[in-house]
């Protein structure tokens, strides 16, 4: 590399360079120009660019999540400057910044096909903790909506989650659209307080399936962040969420589906199938404290 990389906070006037970098990320382009202004204004995050000889050649976003978690996303390097270690420098910078902020853990996701990133994150000490596929379904107006649990159901919800297998399967994580964080008691409380904890009950009145949900107004998707329960109840709840999506005016309901055959079968029975993003997303994490080690 002929000159040293300078990493600095992004500015509004970096947009033309960012659009040039992102122009050919995929055949259809990139989502980053659409979220650029939002990321710049995000007080709960840090948007970075990298300069070589005064030219912006890379970018990356650090997002702060509750309870000391950090999510890394949107790393892009100008095609003319790849294979020079720029992405690794950005990742190392981001991890060092997370340590300075006393974060507990850093996570990111990437495609299962992106072998250079797999090697890069392994070099930084990150471990893969999940593999997911995007599955979606159209709204189903005729479906009965799910029960929405009130905040005072927190003990019942925590007991149900503790008895089920799914938290272990997802390493304790749930998804928020395309990002992951811990489904902690505090996170459960936030879902309950927001009226976002959907449930299916058994005939005896006990919980049979549970799913925190949230509406993403940008992509008009009603997301299932996590689901727990027996296969039949999970299928019923997934179908009910499609009814909820119709009442919210969402264009789709969907989730990041863990790589479990029984769960795939349950969602297929509820009318879900692979979405418009093909392949798997692999989630990686690096604990900065002893609790995750």
The pLDDT of residue 85? 84
Instruction: Kindly list the domain boundaries of the chain, sorted by start residue.
Output: 6-103, 134-280
CB 198 within 8 A of CB 226: no
CB 177 within 8 A of CB 215: no
Q: What pLDDT digit, counting tens, does each position of 233-264 carry?
A: 999 999 999 999 999 999 999 999 999 999 99
- Is residue 41 pLDDT above 90, yes or no? yes
What CATH number has the domain spanning 6-103? 3.40.630.30
pLDDT-derived band at 51 (thresholds 50, 70, 90) equals very high
Provide mean pLDDT across the span 26-48.
88
For residues 78 and 124, which has the higher predicted lDDT (pLDDT)?
Answer: 124
Q: Give the percent of the chain with pLDDT over 90.
A: 82
CATH topology of domain 134-280: Aminopeptidase (3.40.630)
181 forms beta bridges with 174
- 161 by DSSP, 3-state: which? helix
Q: What pLDDT digit, counting tens, does each position of 63-112 carry?
A: 999 999 999 999 999 888 887 889 999 999 999 999 999 999 999 999 99
What helix, strand, coil percent values describe the chain, rounded to 5?
35, 35, 30
The pLDDT of residue 2? 52
The pLDDT of residue 27? 73
pLDDT-derived band at 25 (thresholds 50, 70, 90) equals confident
Q: How many residues appear in the chain?
A: 293
* The two three-digit tokens of residue 103, written as one number: 């974060």
Average pLDDT, the chain: 94
pLDDT-derived band at 1 (thresholds 50, 70, 90) equals very low
Provide mean pLDDT across the span 181-187.
97
For residues 1 and 122, which has the higher predicted lDDT (pLDDT)?
Answer: 122
- Is residue 118 pLDDT above 60, yes or no? yes
User: How far, in Å, CA of 229 to CA of 201, rounded?
Assistant: 10
Helix (H) or strand (E) holding 69, with range, is strand 69-77
The pLDDT of residue 293? 55
């Amino acid at each position: 590399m002929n000159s040293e990389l300078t990493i600095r906070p992004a500015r509004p006037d970096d947009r033309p360079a960012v659009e040039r970098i992102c122009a050919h990320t995929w055949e259809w382009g990139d989502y980053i120009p659409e979220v650029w202004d939002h990321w710049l204004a995000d007080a709960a995050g840090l948007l970075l660019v990298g300069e070589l000889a005064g030219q912006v050649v890379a970018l990356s976003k650090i997002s702060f999540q509750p309870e000391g978690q950090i999510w890394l996303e949107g790393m892009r390097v100008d095609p003319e400057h790849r294979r020079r270690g720029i992405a690794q420098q950005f990742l190392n910078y981001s991890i060092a910044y997370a340590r300075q902020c006393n974060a507990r853990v850093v996570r990111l996701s990437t495609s299962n096909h992106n072998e250079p990133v797999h090697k890069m994150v392994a070099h930084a000490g990150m471990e893969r903790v999940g593999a997911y596929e995007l599955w979606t379904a159209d709204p189903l107006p005729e479906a009965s909506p799910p029960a929405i649990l009130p905040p005072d159901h927190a003990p019942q919800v925590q007991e149900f989650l503790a008895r089920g297998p799914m938290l272990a399967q997802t390493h304790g994580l749930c998804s928020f659209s395309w990002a992951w964080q811990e489904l902690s008691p505090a996170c459960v409380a936030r879902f309950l307080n927001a009226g976002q904890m959907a449930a299916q009950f058994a005939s005896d009145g006990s919980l049979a399936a549970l799913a925190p949900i949230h509406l993403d107004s940008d992509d008009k998707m009603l997301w299932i962040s996590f689901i727990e329960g027996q296969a039949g109840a999970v299928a019923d709840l997934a179908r009910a969420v499609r009814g909820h999506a119709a009442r919210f005016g969402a264009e789709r309901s969907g989730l990041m589906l863990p790589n479990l055959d029984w769960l795939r079968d349950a969602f297929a029975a509820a009318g879900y199938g692979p979405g418009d993003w093909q392949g798997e997303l692999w989630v990686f994490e690096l604990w900065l404290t002893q609790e995750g080690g």
